[in-house]
Chains A and B, each alone.
Chain A
Amino acid sequence: MDLRAIAGGYALGRALQLDHPELDRSAVLCSKLIAVLWLATGQVVYLRGEPVPFFGLGVPLIEASLFPQLMIVLQLLAILTIVCSRFTRSGCVLLASTVVLLSLSDQPLFSNNRLFCAAILGMLALGGEALARLQLAVVYAAAGIDKWIDADWRDGTFLRSFSQGLCRVGELWSPGWDAGAQLPLACALSAQLPVHPWLAVACSALVICVELSIALGYALGSTATVPLVVCFHGLLFVVTGSSFGMFFYAGLAAALLTLRLERMPAPLDRGGFYAALAVLLAGPWVRPWLVLAVLTALAVGVYLRGAQPAQVEEKRG
Chain B
Amino acid sequence: MTRVAVGRALLLLQLAWFVYAQTGERRYFCWAPLHEHVFYRIEARVAGRPLDARALSVRYGRRNAFFDSTRGQHWELNAAAHVIDSIVWRERSLPPPERAEVTLRYRVNDGEARTWTFAP
Chain A residues near B (Cβ < 8 Å): 48, 50-56, 58, 106-110, 112-113, 115, 122-123, 125-127, 131, 134-135, 138-139, 142-143, 145-147, 149-150, 152, 157-158, 161-162, 164-165, 168-169, 172, 180, 244, 247
Q: Within the complex, what minimum Cβ distance (angstroms) separates B56 from chain A?
A: 12
Q: Cβ of B7 < 8 Å from any Cβ of A?
A: yes
- The 9 tightest CB contacts between A and B, nearest first, are A108-B61, A126-B7, A142-B31, A161-B110, A56-B92, A146-B32, A56-B89, A127-B4, A127-B7
Query: Is B4 within 8 A of A131, CB to CB?
Result: yes
In the bound complex, CA of A115 to CA of B27 (Å): 13
Contacts of B78-100 to chain A: CB distance below 8 A:
78, 82, 85-86, 88-90, 92-93
Residue in B36, B39, B82, B86 whose CB lies within 8 Å of A158: B36
In the bound complex, CA of A109 to CA of B33 (Å): 14
Residue-wise, chain B 26-46 has the 8 Å CB interface mask toward A (1 for contact) of: 011111111111010000000
Residue in B10, B36, B65, B66 whose CB lies within 8 Å of A150: B36
Query: Is A142 within 8 A of B30, CB to CB?
Result: yes
- Having A109-B61, A123-B10, one finds 14 other A-B pairs with CB under 8 Å, namely A53-B89, A55-B89, A110-B82, A126-B3, A127-B8, A131-B8, A135-B11, A142-B31, A152-B36, A158-B36, A161-B110, A165-B68, A165-B75, A169-B66
Given A54-B89, A135-B11, is A146 in contact with B37 using a C-beta cutoff of 8 Å? no
Residues of chain A lying within 8 A (CB to CB) of residue B36:
150, 152, 158
Q: Cβ of B114 < 8 Å from any Cβ of A?
A: no
Given A142-B32, A247-B33, is A107 in contact with B7 using a C-beta cutoff of 8 Å? no
Query: Is B110 within 8 A of A172, CB to CB?
Result: no
User: What are 13 A-B pairs with beta-carbon distances under 8 A?
Assistant: A52-B89, A56-B89, A112-B33, A122-B7, A123-B10, A138-B11, A138-B15, A146-B18, A146-B35, A150-B35, A152-B111, A161-B37, A180-B69
Query: Is B31 within 8 A of A146, CB to CB?
Result: yes
Residue-wise, chain B 98-109 has the 8 Å CB interface mask toward A (1 for contact) of: 000000000011
Query: Is A106 within 8 A of B61, CB to CB?
Result: yes
Given A107-B85, A142-B32, A146-B35, is A168 in contact with B4 using a C-beta cutoff of 8 Å? no
Q: Within the complex, what minimum Cβ distance (angstroms) separates A140 from chain B?
A: 8
Query: Is A172 within 8 A of B60, CB to CB?
Result: no
Residues of chain A lying within 8 A (CB to CB) of residue B108:
152
Residues of chain B lying within 8 A (CB to CB) of residue A158:
34, 36-37, 109
Q: Which of A109, A125, A149, A169 has the most CB of B within 10 A?
A: A169
Query: Is B68 within 8 A of A169, CB to CB?
Result: yes
In the bound complex, CA of A201 to CA of B20 (Å): 27
Query: Is A108 within 8 A of B93, CB to CB?
Result: no
